Structure 1
Amino acid sequence: MNTVDAVRHDLSLLTEQDIYLFREGRHYRLYEKLGAHLMDADGVSGCFFAVWAPNARSVSVISDQNGWDPCAHPLAPRLDSSGIWQGFVPGMTRGAVYKYHLVAQNGQEWDKRDPFALFGESPPESASIVWDTEYFWTDKSWMAERGARNALDAPWSVYEMHLGSWRRKDNGELMSFVDLAGCLPEYLSGLGFTHVEFLPVMEHPFYGSWGYQTTGYFSPSSRYGSPQEFMDLVNALHRAGIGVVLDWVPSHFPNDEYGLHRFDGTHLYDHEDPRRGFHPDWNSCIFNLGRYEVRSFLISSAMFWLDAYHADGLRVDAVASMLYLDYSRKEGEWIPNEYGGRENLEAIDFLRTLNSTVYQQYPDVQTIAEESTSWPMVSRPVHLGGLGFGMKWNMGWMHDTLEYFSMDPVFRKYHQDKLTFALWYAYTENFMLPLSHDEVVYGKGSLFTKMPGDDWQKWAGLRLLYSYMYTMPGKKLLFMGAEFGQHGEWNHDGVLEWGQLEGQGAGLSAYLHDLNMLLRSDPALHGADFLPEGFEWVDFRDAEESVIAFLRRDEQKRCVLAVLNFTPVPRENYRLGVPWAGFWKELLCSDAVSYGGSGWGNYGGVQSDAIPSHGHEQSVEIALPPLGAVLFECSEG
């Protein structure tokens, strides 16, 4: 039977340097020191525990291996005023289920999940599990090449997905990490995607939060399996040539009693004043980014997913809510900064530190900001005054695009600016063009239902939407189900409408595959996504016929001509200027019969004529399909 005397308090993984960095907010591998760590001490096997709880009266480890007895394994406070409690529990083994039992200064008691737990019970259970992250990776080839694959001049076509509602087992149960490893890499490779982005895989109590109410900042959700099984999934994706981006949430956390909220009886991780510490939109707690220990916790979490799970990128959620003190608040509900402004100076400094740290240690990954305002220089380097992200979601492009495509084609000629406005600011940031999960929930309908007209026009509209997205400058992101024209709104409690692949959805899926393969193979469509010289308008003024045409260029004196017709009226003998003479090969036509279209096209390409047009000495005359896009390519000389 375990006794109080069995706990060793003189053993520690923490050095003076660890404590110094932790208190400075510069310890970026804190998960190696805090939490539960299996080890041998003087020939005795057991587990070392360390937890930050500076305002607690006492802390102990309770577990299924000590009968959940708060008196069995008390931890001792370090004598360096760090607020860390620690102790070595002999005999505790991998798989032990545990919590910390804390007593506050006022005598109140409660049990808490380990903030640094590597694994935990499946919700609604909430205890932590003693575990490790040992794994034999076989993705050496990917890791050696990923710098080029994740670069800003590389093709990025991201499949965004929610693990629990992509597919289910035949009995209706969630697919596990192992199940997904067996089918997801092949599926994504077959469609030509370069990356997959997972809605948060971190442990979360409420399934309906999609993972955005995180309680386990160092543990993948046990709903789907163990840490090593999630590694299996990442490993399998890498071996298939698919990069893995993880959604990560440093902006807020849920107020579940067993989580970070009032961890030691005080507002340890969040602000005490609700004007700074409570999020009105999500009924959650806002991290206190002015507290150095909290910064160490969060940046260590970010580094953990890169270190232990080989993640290729982090998409940082709700950045706007971090940057503005008055975000979603009325007058009098927020506290200005020291200069009287609305900018959250602590969050700005935190984000810059986060990005600087990530890119210093992992120059071959990307951080991506979901930032919905016009905050300047989000994706510009810190040393130039930016926030330091690699990319930023272009929410303005997304809203304008979906608003335009939702219009009846009869009225589109009055709103041509919705298609062209994004080019005015396209190079102010490194933009990713998202058609994300947020646009197919909460009554917004699916992308398919946003398209006007009859079914034929809806399918043509989706092919045209993807054509526009894939030819405009910026990296691409598409939420699951959009690849085959899901009709229904996304429901996290359901699954995708896979039956659509038996009908018209198969043609749409085939077209998306060909778009992905063209994007990957043609540098003109991706190499200069963030450089103004990679794009040139041919004609954006033909609002009367709702047609736009433009060129995408690369450094090899080669360019792609994209022509898009946003009405269901075909255009014969449509003339456009081109930069040089030659045969303009037709690369892709969205109206091909194999995609479900009517078969309009240009018989493989067109020869230019010495007829001046659109400021060029040469021009081509093309057949432009209804609600369709055609892409041509030619090389100079």
Structure 2
Amino acid sequence: MSKVITHSLFTDFDIDLFKAGKHYRLYEKLGAHLIEIDGVKGVYFAVWAPTAHSVSVVGDFNYWTQGEHLLQVRWDSSGIWEGFIPLIEKGATYKYKIQSNNDGIVTEKADPFAFYCEQPPNTASIVWDLDHKWSDSKWMKSRQDHNGLDKPYSVYEVHLGSWKRHGEENRFLTYLEFAEDLVAYVKETGFTHVEFMPIMEYPYDPSWGYQLVGYFAPTSRFGNPQEFMMLVDKLHQAGIGVILDWVPSHFPDDAHGLGFFDGSNLFEHPDRRKGYHPDWKSLVFNYGRNEVRSFLISNALFWLQHYHADGLRVDAVASMLYLDYSRKDGEWEPNIYGGRENLDTISFLKEFNEAVYLNYEGVQTIAEESTSFPMVSRPTSVGGLGFGMKWMMGWMHDTLEYFQKDTVYRKYHQNELTFSMTYTFSENFMLPLSHDEVVYGKKSIAGRMPGDEWQKFANLRLLYGYMFTHPGTKLLFMGSEFGQSGEWNFESSLDWHLLQFPFHEGVKKLITDLNALYKSEPALYEKQFSPEGFEWINYSDHQNAVFSFIRKGNKPKDDLIIVCNFTQVVRPNYRIGLPKKGKLKEIFNSDATIYAGSGVGNTGKLAIESSPYDGRDYSIELLLAPLSVNVFKIS
């Protein structure tokens, strides 16, 4: 095997950007790159290891022998080791053997910038390329029309390892199989976007992908990088957006990973009070180190550039923002102003969002942030963190708490539902019913509903109808769309057999129709983040556990009237006030027989009366179905 040849892909400007934390395309320089020099093909390797005494590339091409292929450190104090090894081909496996200046510590690490990794439990990196002939140009040119904040945004959250498995052997589907089955299913049910729980390479299945090792590599569990590109391509061709979960909050301490990379705290913060996460027993990035910021922002832009992702949902933002997160007194140190906010994190998140929105049109960043930290989804120019949207965790907890109550007690708790409207427009909120709500003894969403089987499914349909008519975008975890009975199990397929039963098939039909309603009615999305898009009719009828409101679009003719009945009691002659005269037509009823409901509803066009009610000049009497959402339109 040929020896290492001196070569560099870095310019002086690259190094200056890297040191300043402003190099957002590091993946084009660091890592393993198939190139040709003087007619000889091979691989250029580059790795950041500033405390290393020596760095060897070891792999199947040199029998994993240390010292056979030594990289050379750059002269510019960047800490980058590099070199070109001739004749290595695509598919070669490799690692970096790093001997540190710190007491001669030796580490053997996977490449932080590898495009492909061995399938766990194997841990080597694989030389690979990013070639793919994309066929989604139509989507990419017009995706602003799908991803804008004034567009319908209904997300199907998917864990690829357990959406569907194959046969008795319970094997994973491949990316190419997902490109057929998943794409067809999402198109059928009408979701506008898919959100993949982390697909970057991770070593431990029970982490669900939230403890990453290969930040630039889609997991090899389901195929190679080009096959994942094909899945994204097919989704786009079907008119479906792709959101990727992104985890800059922490990483595992596996021996081949980022931790203690070159014998020093290179990626993680050296102060354990900031560099170790007690909940997940994982390491926390050093957000104040320029080179680490370049690594993370480069990673975010990488998935937008090379995998055509339409958005990044950033995991565990709250854990990043607070120095005392999950820490007791004495286990954290206040910032320079005496506060608990992590100033380095705040600066990093602002820079990340600015870089994303500056470089890519028509994308969204979404924060999973569970506290009341202000202005998460407001522009950095006005002091916000710069995210496009934020998960509405308060709505999720209050709503699920309410729906678990027996209907006889709901009249005492109506404020748990109406409270969300006091802060709904303080952020650009996404309403999530996510994977976190169907594990660890919480039961499935359907399993939380009270009453007999009929009431359970009526409650479930009511919950989804309320969710889709409430201001904000939507997210639903897989299986919830057909009323999965049991908790999510990451080791097996969803319970698809349940769709043979009318109640489950009815919920799936309901979700399909709610997605269609959301996309077809501008009042549900044009002003979903504006107080101008919502108006209460009556929120105080606690005794009957009923409330009613108006959703508004840009044109008054698009306004919708929504009435929710949260008990199983049919309400005949239920009067509500209305803003104008005309005819009222029911366009959606969650109790319809096509959803396995009882079929109670309002047929035909109903005349609005000049009879004052609810502080309005006009009103109408309606027939409210049990445990239902009714949506009406005035003509």
TM-score bin (small chain): over 0.9
Report deviation, 1:108.
2.3
Report deviation, 1:555.
1.1
Q: How many residues align?
A: 631
- Give CA deviations for 1:133-191 in whole Å, capped at 9, x if unaligned: 11000001111110111000000110001000000011310011111001111100100
Report deviation, 1:604.
3.4
> Aligned pair 1:236/2:230, yes or no?
no
The equivalent residue for 1:518 is 517
Cα separation, 2, equivalents of 1:69 and 1:12: 23
The equivalent residue for 2:127 is 130
The equivalent residue for 1:299 is 297
The equivalent residue for 1:574 is 574
Cα separation, 2, equivalents of 1:54 and 1:108: 14
Report deviation, 1:607.
1.6
Task: Provide the aligned C-alpha RMSD in A.
Answer: 0.7
The equivalent residue for 2:118 is 121
Cα separation, 2, equivalents of 1:190 and 1:273: 50
The equivalent residue for 1:26 is 22
> Aligned pair 1:142/2:165, yes or no?
no
The equivalent residue for 1:81 is 77
Cα separation, 2, equivalents of 1:272 and 1:40: 39
Cα separation, 2, equivalents of 1:81 and 1:174: 45
1:240-251 counterparts in 2 under 5 A? 240-251=238-249
Report deviation, 1:363.
2.7
- Give CA deviations for 1:460-479 in whole Å, capped at 9, x if unaligned: 00000001000000000000
Moved over 4 A (4+): none
Give the TM-score normalised by structure 1.
Answer: 0.98
The equivalent residue for 2:284 is 286
1:135-534 counterparts in 2 under 5 A? 135-170=132-167, 171-503=169-501, 504-534=503-533
Cα separation, 1, equivalents of 2:522 and 2:413: 31
Partner secondary structure for residue 563 of structure 1:
strand
Contact 1:52 1:85 (8 Å CA) reproduced: yes
Cα separation, 1, equivalents of 2:601 and 2:368: 38
- Give CA deviations for 1:318-345 in whole Å, capped at 9, x if unaligned: 0000100000100000111112211100
The one-letter code of the counterpart of 2:561 is: L
- Give CA deviations for 1:569-604 in whole Å, capped at 9, x if unaligned: 000000111111111111111111111011100013
The one-letter code of the counterpart of 2:494 is: L
Cα separation, 2, equivalents of 1:602 and 1:401: 27
1:586-597 counterparts in 2 under 5 A? 586-597=586-597
Cα separation, 2, equivalents of 1:537 and 1:408: 25
The equivalent residue for 1:538 is 537
The equivalent residue for 1:602 is 602
Cα separation, 2, equivalents of 1:137 and 1:77: 37
Cα separation, 2, equivalents of 1:49 and 1:585: 66
Partner secondary structure for residue 541 of structure 1:
strand
Contact 2:45 2:84 (8 Å CA) reproduced: yes
Contact 1:605 1:632 (8 Å CA) reproduced: no
The one-letter code of the counterpart of 1:515 is: L
The one-letter code of the counterpart of 1:561 is: I
- Which one of the candidate residues 90, 97, 115 is aligned to 1:94? 90
- Give CA deviations for 1:499-546 in whole Å, capped at 9, x if unaligned: 111112111111111110010011001110001010000000000000
Partner secondary structure for residue 61 of structure 1:
strand
> Aligned pair 1:61/2:69, yes or no?
no
The one-letter code of the counterpart of 2:573 is: N
- Give CA deviations for 1:274-316 in whole Å, capped at 9, x if unaligned: 1111100000000000100000000000000000000000000
Partner secondary structure for residue 171 of structure 2:
coil
Partner secondary structure for residue 609 of structure 1:
coil
Cα separation, 1, equivalents of 2:510 and 2:329: 50
Give structure 1 stretches of 5+ with no counterpart: none
Report deviation, 1:625.
0.5
Cα separation, 2, equivalents of 1:605 and 1:413: 31
Q: In percent, how many aligned pairs have the same letter?
A: 58
Cα separation, 2, equivalents of 1:215 and 1:228: 20
The one-letter code of the counterpart of 1:242 is: I
The one-letter code of the counterpart of 2:591 is: D
Deviates more, 1:277-286 or 1:334-343: 334-343
1:4-43 counterparts in 2 under 5 A? 6-9=3-6, 11-43=7-39
Contact 2:170 2:492 (8 Å CA) reproduced: no
> Aligned pair 1:631/2:628, yes or no?
no
Contact 2:258 2:267 (8 Å CA) reproduced: yes
1:606-617 counterparts in 2 under 5 A? 606-617=606-617
Partner secondary structure for residue 252 of structure 1:
coil
Contact 1:413 1:545 (8 Å CA) reproduced: yes
Report deviation, 1:620.
1.4
The equivalent residue for 1:70 is 66
The one-letter code of the counterpart of 1:121 is: E
Contact 2:107 2:262 (8 Å CA) reproduced: no
The one-letter code of the counterpart of 1:445 is: K
Contact 1:510 1:595 (8 Å CA) reproduced: yes
Cα separation, 1, equivalents of 2:117 and 2:538: 57
Cα separation, 2, equivalents of 1:94 and 1:523: 50
Give structure 2 stretches of 5+ with no counterpart: none
The one-letter code of the counterpart of 2:97 is: H
Contact 2:379 2:386 (8 Å CA) reproduced: yes
Give the TM-score normalised by structure 2.
Answer: 0.99
Report deviation, 1:634.
1.6
- Give CA deviations for 1:409-429 in whole Å, capped at 9, x if unaligned: 111101111110000001100
- Give CA deviations for 1:476-508 in whole Å, capped at 9, x if unaligned: 000000111000000101111111111121111
Partner secondary structure for residue 412 of structure 1:
helix
Cα separation, 2, equivalents of 1:517 and 1:107: 63
